[in-house]
Amino acid sequence: MRVVISVDMEGVCGVSSWVQVSPPEFGGLVNAGEYARARERMTLEAAAAAEGALAGGATDVLVNDSHDTMRNLIPELLPDGVRFTSGNDKPLSMVQGVQESGVGALLFVGYHARAGSVRGPLAHTWNGFVRDVRINGLSTGEYGLNALLAGHYGVPVVFACGDDVAMAEIRAELGEGVVTVAVKEGLSSFAAVHLHPREAQRRIRERAEQAVRAAGRATPYTTHWPAACQLSFNHQARADAAERVPGITRQGAVTVGWESPDAYHLFQTFRMLAKVAEVRLDG
C-alpha cells in the first residue's frame, strides 16, 4: 500500500507564533533562526510519520510539503527511499499525490485548528482573511477540505497530529477512527504547552504505524453531493470580488456561496475564490 503524508507547520511541536512559520523572504532576517528550527522540527515529525508508515506496512511513502511556499522540508532528514514534493503550484495543493494509483492512506502532520477556533494556536483556514468555510452547513478547516478531496480519489485519512484543538475537530468531523496525536495543548491563539520534540516524534512514529496497519478498514471521507458551499471573509470587499466569479452568489455582507457536484470542484472553486479575494482594502 502506498501512503501520502501532508505536512503543515503551524501544528508542529514548539510552534506558537507566526514568526516561527514565516520563511525569511517574507519576514526578514529577524525570524530566520526561529523559522529554521521550526522547519527542522516539521521535517522530523514528517520523518517520524514516514518511519511509522513504513513499519506499518507501507510500500511507498510520499511526503507532501503543505506549508506556505511549500519549500520547507529538509530532504536529508527524511528516511531513505521516501519521496517528497515541493513547490506551491501543485494541482492538488496540500494533498498532492492522493490521485496516484495504489494510495491507500493519507496522514496529516503539523495540522492546526480551523479559523475561529478557541485556544487553537495559529488557528486559521488557508490564509488570514478566510473567516469560515461551510460544506452543507458544517464549518470545517483545511483538514476537512483536504479529507474530502482525498475521499474523491478513494483515499481515507487515517492519522493526524498537531495541536489538541485541531485533533478534537478532526475526530469530530472525520470520525473517531482517525488516530491522532496532540503534540501541544493550546492556551490561546499564540501560546501552547508542548511535549518535548523527541517525545512528540516518538508518539507520532508509534501511532502512525498503528494507523497504517489498520488502514484497510478505514473509510474515505465524503458528504452529500451536490454540496452547498459557503465561504466567509474578514471584509466585505473580498466578498465583492468573489461574487463576480460566474456561478458564485452573494449570501451576506462577507459571505458567498455556490454548489459543487463533487469534492474536486469544491476544492478548486475554494482555491480560486481565496485567490480572487486577495484584494487591497485601501481602495
Catalytic positions are 124
**Residue 267 grid coordinates:** 476544492
Task: Kindly state the helix (H) or strand (E) to which residue 37 belongs, with its residue range.
Answer: helix 32-55
User: Is 10 among the annotated ligand-binding positions?
Assistant: yes
Q: Which residues contact 132 (CB under 8 A, 6 or more apart)?
A: 114, 115, 116, 125, 139, 230, 231, 232
User: Is 142 among the annotated ligand-binding positions?
Assistant: yes
Whether the Cβ atoms of residue 28 and residue 35 lie closer than 8 Å to each other:
no
SS3 label, residue 141: coil
Burial group, residue 276, by CB count within 10 angstroms (0-12, 13-18, 19+): middle
SS3 label, residue 169: helix
**Residue 277 grid coordinates:** 479575494
Give the bridge partners for 144, in sequence order: none
Burial group, residue 37, by CB count within 10 angstroms (0-12, 13-18, 19+): middle
The amino acid at residue 151 is G
* Residue whose grid cell is 522540527: 41
CA distance 101 to 103: 6
Q: Which residues are annotated as a binding site?
A: 8, 10, 67, 112, 142
Q: Which residues are annotated as a binding site for Zn(2+)?
A: 8, 10, 67, 112, 142
